[in-house]
Amino acid sequence: MSRPPLNPTLPLCQLPAGSAGRVRELTGDTDFCQRVREMGFGESAFVTKIGGSGPFICQVNGTRMALSHGAAMHIIVEQLGRP
Over the chain (83 residues), the average pLDDT of each successive run of 10 is 70 94 95 95 94 90 94 95 60
| Owning domain of residue 63 | 9-79
- Give the pLDDT of residue 4: 56
Number of domains the chain is built from: 1
Residue 2, domain member (yes or no) = no
pTM: 0.87
Residue 1 in any domain: the answer is no
Q: Does residue 62 form part of some domain?
A: yes
Predicted confidence at residue 2, as pLDDT, reads: 60
Q: What's the CATH number where 61 sits?
A: 2.30.30.90
Give domain status of residue 46, yes or no.
yes
The verdict on residue 21 lying in a domain is yes
The answer to whether 24 and 78 are in contact (CB under 8 A) is yes
- Is residue 28 assigned to a domain? yes
Cβ burial of 23 (10 Å; 0-12, 13-18, 19+) is: buried
- Residue 25 CA to residue 13 CA, distance in Å, equals 14
